[in-house]
Amino acid sequence: MLELKNVSYHVDKRDIINNISLKIEQGETIAIVGPSGSGKSTLMRLINNLISPTEGEIYLNGKPYEQISPETLRMKISYLLQESDLFDRTIGENLAFPAEVRNEKFDRKRAKYLLKTVGLGHYNFNTRVDHLSGGERQRITIARQLMYKPQMLLLDEATSALDKQNSEKIEKLIFNMAKEGVSILWITHSNEQSSRHFKKRIKIVEGRIEQEDDLS
């Protein structure tokens, strides 16, 4: 589904990503681990086409990234950032945003279901998000990201700030999407999490794949 071929990313002669080759199949679940500053978020930004490799090539379903428009790519590959990036309006307006950019009807039923699944079922769509806590905002960001089913979901420490109960609910939701064929690439510092559901664990050190473990 996704393939990186000898991908490098250099800034000022520094190798932030150094010759990474990787194939990710449909529905595959991969945990990305590695020390701080090793290049994990940079790898995700490359896969999300927010930055381009200085060497190498990335292919989605056999097609090189240059031949795919950024809008199309970002609908197929969804990137959940480390920090929440909601607009300071209502929950409903935030959850309706993915439909808006696609010119589609807002699926209120799915939004309600997701809100409940991330543990915020007691709020209604008119609640303003600027009054919510950091963890609540992050959970709304996750719900917004899951309004549409992408081909691949990139998660950057998505649940690191959440309590155990909420993290587990969200993990369940996300791994159910994997069963429906969504590929998952998840940066996590939690060993417990990385061994729980993933099929594979990749360790990045100094911009290279240092170790690849089969967990299945």
Which residues in this chain contact ligand ATP in the complex, by CB under 6 A?
A: 11, 16, 34, 36-42
Q: Which does 50 bind (CB under 5 to 8 A by kind): ligand ATP, Mg ion, none?
A: none
Query: Which residue in 18, 41, 151, 194 binds Mg ion (CB under 5 A)?
Result: 41
Q: Which does 16 bind (CB under 5 to 8 A by kind): ligand ATP, Mg ion, none?
A: ligand ATP
**x/- binding map, residues 45-84, to Mg ion, per CB under 5 A?**
----------------------------------------
Which residue, 57, 82, 58, is CA-closest to 1?
A: 58
With respect to ligand ATP, which residue has the nearer C-beta, 39 or 98?
39
Which residue, 52, 51, 49, 78, is CA-closest to 154?
A: 78
Q: Which does 68 bind (CB under 5 to 8 A by kind): Mg ion, ligand ATP, none?
A: none
CB of residue 152 to Mg ion, shortest distance in Å:
18
Which residue, 108, 109, 177, 166, is CA-closest to 137?
A: 166
Q: Which does 139 bind (CB under 5 to 8 A by kind): Mg ion, ligand ATP, none?
A: none
Residue 19: C-alpha distances to residues 11, 52, 78, 152, 212 (Å): 14, 14, 24, 22, 15
With respect to Mg ion, which residue has the nearer C-beta, 84 or 94?
84
**Would you count residue 138 as binding Mg ion (CB under 5 A)?**
no
- Cα separation, 176 vs 184, in Å, equals 11
Which residue, 169, 129, 162, is CA-closest to 146?
A: 169
Which residue, 46, 45, 35, 42, is CA-closest to 205?
A: 35
Give the end-to-end CA distance of the chain in Å, rounded to a whole number. 19
Interface ranges with Mg ion (CB under 5 A): 41
